[in-house]
């Protein structure tokens, strides 16, 4: 168990969400618990946000996706 003086470290990571014809890259906040300092953990709000990004990517809502991340179009050859 973590001691009271150990603090939770915060940071950000990139997540890649693939839909039928695109990949959306978003940067999301993470926490690093003292018990697992090398393992990024997602908070509930972040998971809900990633679910929304996935839904909108599958629906093709590029206008909204451009506001939260970067879109890469997939080309099938």
pLDDT by residue (tens digit) across 4-33? Answer: 557 889 999 999 999 989 999 999 999 999
Query: Positive or negative CA dihedral for 17, 22, 23, 26?
Result: negative
Per-residue pLDDT band for 76 (boundaries 50, 70, 90) equals confident
pLDDT tens readout for residues 37-64? 999 999 999 999 999 999 999 999 999 9
pLDDT at residue number 3:
56
For residue 71, pLDDT over 70 is answered with yes
Cβ atoms of residues 69 and 25 within 8 Å = yes
What pLDDT does 8 receive? Answer: 86
Element (H, E) at 40: none
């Amino acid at each position: 168990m973590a001691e009271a003086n150990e603090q939770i470290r915060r940071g950000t990571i990139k997540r890649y969400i693939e839909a039928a014809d695109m990949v959306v890259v978003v940067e999301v906040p993470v926490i690093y618990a003292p018990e697992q300092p090398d393992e990024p953990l997602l908070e509930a709000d972040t998971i809900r946000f990633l679910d929304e990004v996935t839904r909108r990517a599958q629906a093709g809502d590029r206008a909204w996706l451009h506001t939260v991340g970067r879109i890469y179009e997939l080309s099938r050859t």
